[in-house]
Amino acid sequence: MTTTPLQAVGLPDPYPYYADLAAERPFAHDETLGAWVAADAAAVRAVLGTPSLRVRPAAEPVPAGIVGTAAGEVFGELVRMTDGPLQRRLKALVVQALARPDRDRVAGLAAASTRAVLAGGEVPYQELMFGVPARTVAALMGLTDGADAEAARLIGDFVQCIPAGADEEQYKAAAVAAASLKDLLGPGLDGRGEGLLAELVRAARADSWPDTAPLLANAVGFLSQTYDATAGLIGNTLLALSRGAARPGDPKAADALVREVVRHDAPIQNTRRFAAEAFTHGDHVVEPGGQVLVVLAAANRDPSVNPDPHTLLLDRVNPVVFTFGAGAHRCPGEDLATAISGAVVGELLAAGWNPATLPESPRYRPLANARIPHL
C-alpha cells in the first residue's frame, strides 16, 4: 500500500517517508489526497507566509455539521479558523493574554496537578497527557474547585468536531460541550481578577474591541488548542526518554528536551490551507479552490535548515522549527505548552517513573494531524 502524508502521522516511524517526500517531492500534487503537499522547509515557509492561502475553504467557513449550533458559533470566531483584518486584530489580543502568565506559575500548576494524578500510585498516562494540560489552562482562566476538571472533560468532546471527516455523533457531542463551556467560561469575562480571561478582556478594552462573543469563543479555543497538541508533546517526550534520550536533571534540561522533541517528533505533524487566490511556488500553481497539506513534521527535518536532522540533539543552536506553524497563524501558546509539558515530565521522573516501562513500539491514535501515542 502506498503511504499518504495523512497515514504517515500514525506510523511507528514516519520520518524516512517524510525525508524522501521532502527530498523528492518538496511541493507536489498528491492525486490520492486531491491536494498539494508542501514538505520541505522552503515550501512550508512559502505556504504559511502567503495571504492567498487561507485556513478554511471559502465555501465552508464552518463545518456544515455544526452550523447553527454553539460549536459552530465558537468555531466561526476562532482566530485559528478565520483570516483577514478582524482575525489579525483579535489575534493581537489573544497573543497579549497568552504572553501574560508567568512560566514558573504555569509549571507550578502543572506540577501540582501531576502530583495529584500520581497520588493514586498508578501512572494514568491519559490523565497526564490530556487531563493535566487542560486543567492547567482552565485554572489559568480562573476555573477552580472542580470547574477545571469539568472544562477538561468537556473540551475532549468539543475537539471531536475539528477534524475533517467528523461524524454526526461527534458533531452533536461537540455542540453540547461548546454550550456548557460557554456557560463555564462566560462569567470570567467580567474583566475582574487575574488570569487569562481577565487579561483577554483588559486587552480588548484597551483596543476598544466591541464584542465579547469572540473573546468567549477564543477562550474555548485556548482549551481546544491545548488538548491534543500538548498530549502529543508529553507522550512523545516520554517516548524519547524510553528510547535513550538523556534524563533531564533539572527544569532547564527538561525544557531543552521538550523543545527538541517538538522539532524531532512533532505532536502536530501537519496543517491545511485553502487557496482563495492563485498561489505559485516554483513551477507549480495552486489554483483558487485548491487545497494544500502542510507537512510541518517533514520540514522540521529538512537538512537544509537543521543539520543532522534525524538526531535528537538537546544543545541544537538556533533550530528551525515548524511545529508551532509560521506567519499570521503562528501558535501563541508555545511557551505555555512547553512549560506544562516540561513540568509533567519532570514530576513524573521525580516520582521514580521508569522510562523502560513504556512499550517499544506503541500504537498511535488514528488522527490525521496529531501524533499521540497510546501509552
Note the residues at the interface with ligand HEM (CB under 6 A): 55, 79-80, 91, 94, 98, 137, 221-222, 225-226, 229-230, 233, 267-268, 271, 323-325, 329, 331-333, 336-337
Q: In the complex with ligand HEM, which residue's Cβ is closer, 24 or 211?
A: 211
Instruction: Kindly tell me which of 93 and 177 has the beta carbon lying closer to ligand HEM.
Output: 93
- Cβ proximity to ligand HEM: between 75 and 324 the closer is 324
- Which residue number, 163 or 172, has a Cβ lying nearer to ligand HEM? 163
- Taking every pair of C-alpha atoms in the chain, what is the biggest distance, in angstroms? 59
* Residue 140: CB minimum distance to ligand HEM, A: 8
Measured from each CB, the residue nearest to ligand HEM is 333
* Cβ neighbours for 70, distance < 8 A, ≥ 6 positions apart: 175, 176, 178, 179, 182
User: What is the crossing angle of helices 196-206 and 213-242, to 10°?
Assistant: 130
> To the nearest whole angstrom, how small is the minimum distance from the Cβ of residue 323 to ligand HEM?
5
Helix-, strand-, coil-residue percentages of the chain, each rounded to 5: 55, 10, 40
For residue 222, what are the CA distances in angstroms to 111, 119, 228, 264, 337?
Answer: 20, 27, 12, 24, 11
Cell of 4: 499518504
In whole angstroms, the minimum distance from the beta carbon of 352 to ligand HEM comes to 26
Torsions phi, psi for 20 (to 5 deg)? -65, -45
**Residue 120 or 325: which CB sits closer to ligand HEM?**
325
| In the complex, least distance from residue 169 CB atom to ligand HEM, rounded to whole angstroms | 26
Looking at the Cβ atoms of 117 and 266, the one nearer to ligand HEM is: 266
Q: How far is the CB of 375 from ligand HEM (least distance, A)?
A: 16
Minimum distance between the CB of residue 79 and ligand HEM, rounded to whole angstroms?
A: 4
Residues 6+ apart with CB under 8 A from 48: 273, 294, 322, 325, 326, 327, 329
How many angstroms separate the Cα of 45 from the Cα of each of 42, 117, 328? 5, 40, 12
Three-state secondary-structure class, residue 55: coil
